[in-house]
Structure 1
Amino acid sequence: MSECAAHPPASPEEDQKKINARMAQIKQKICVLSGKGGVGKSTVAVNLATALADAGKKVGLLDVDIHGPSIPTMLGLGRMSLVSNADSVDPIQVGNLKVMSVGFLNQNEDDAFIWRGPMKMGVIKQFLGDVEWGELDYLIVDCPPGTGDEPLSICQLIENPDGAVIVTTPQQVAAVDVRKSLTFCQKLELPILGIVENMSGFACPKCGEVVDIFQSGGGEKIASDFSVPFLGKLPIDPAIGKACDAGRPFIQSYAASETAHMMREIIKPLLARSIG
């Protein structure tokens, strides 16, 4: 982070060597992707990482949504400052979860990062190579929507990410764009670990009944068409918005809710994967 740690210029080979050394300490690197904005991808990423950490795993959460970093807000970390060492930067610790986001570089939450591709690539290199992640079971990478610079840079720099979780909403207008994320993964030979259908119905806060708002089943159809796992559905739950605004992971704040139970079911296939 140029604002946090001054480093002499390095060659691309030296940068990659440093990244490889960091990533070698992490057993599973998982990208959370979506071809469409507004599908709740960051919410899924935060609760996925939190659920894995609650299951006793060592987890890092990396937010590479350069132009819309929401992870600090969702975890109540908006005013946190990074600590830099001689040759590294410490991630922010939230319980047993390690977090890094471009949002931590911004002293004013209203300021925009007006960056072109090379600047984005540079900060992503530093996130991967300069951050002291240490030994982790999982690194969850929250990518911005689409198939542009950030997800492409992550997949190329990590070299061998373990897979992607794709988030969609049920309606066709989202599914059309989300399908592009799957072809993106196929072209990069990135394994698709599964599809999550978010906002699948509305969970009534009074009675708990789930009522369809959009046509249901878009995520399941994508999974079927591409022959990839379907991880599950999550409803629109007003408590999710309350938890995000309060800076608390929903899966902890409302642990006894049916929606939190659905989230824990979604991570079971990921926990079942070998990380030895």
Structure 2
Amino acid sequence: MPVGSGAPAAPGLLTRVLSSPSGSIGSMLVGLVVLTAAFAPLIAPADPFAITGPSLAPPSAAHPMGTDALGRDLLSGIVHGARTSVLVAGSVGVLVLIIGGTVGTVAGYRGGRVDDLLMRATEFVQVLPVFFLAIVVIALFGPGLDRLVLVLGLASWELLARVVRAEVLALRRREFVEAARASGASPLRIVVREILPNALPAAIVYLGLLLAQVILIEASLSYLGLGDPNRISWGYLAGEAQDYLRVAWWLALFPGAAVVIAVLGMNLLADALTDVLGGRR
């Protein structure tokens, strides 16, 4: 039986998501952020750390988003900040998908003691305070995107594992899985060819919400001065703006707007996927 019996096929799912208002707006916002990150060196007028103009210059033709207290171009900082956010969110997403997807699939398909053991490990990870754990790790080992990605990835997979496990439990007794099993397919082939393609859409919904949360955590840590000092980020720019709120409104406005656009786009896409998978569209 063809893959997709338990969930919408990928092309049809994508079409239905993009046809909804939240899906189309969310895809445009996320696409804007991703494209900005991908082409940051071409879009940014200058190096984000370079002094290119007068201090605290308001938005103008030369500096569309103004300059900061050191005379650095804010537009360049926003553009390169998108690259930092996309890099962190994408890397954490890959880690979470690998760890959570593997744990949830094995637990749901094997069941029994294996399921119990993996779920107890999941519960342990679930009670960890991710934000404060990231602060502790950075305080002990120093700031760096590699450490941030690692701690967020290792501490954020538990809910995705539960989502995947629930989907696998619902799918493993479906007719097309039983047919594949009766035809002599190995457990690995059944999982990879029949179960996972049907379980992934629900996991991607949660992953979209998680990536929005990761962007907020990275921005919050950078705002507190715990981000990578070698990379510009939106949170760092917002933190630098706090001493100049009364005289340079643009310093806080544009980094804040960038965070809102990225997080709103992720949430709208996840909401559209939830609607489609729930059969409300």
Query: TM-score w.r.t. structure 2 length?
Result: 0.23
In our comparison, the structure showing a higher alpha carbon Rg is 2
Q: Which has the higher strand share?
A: 1
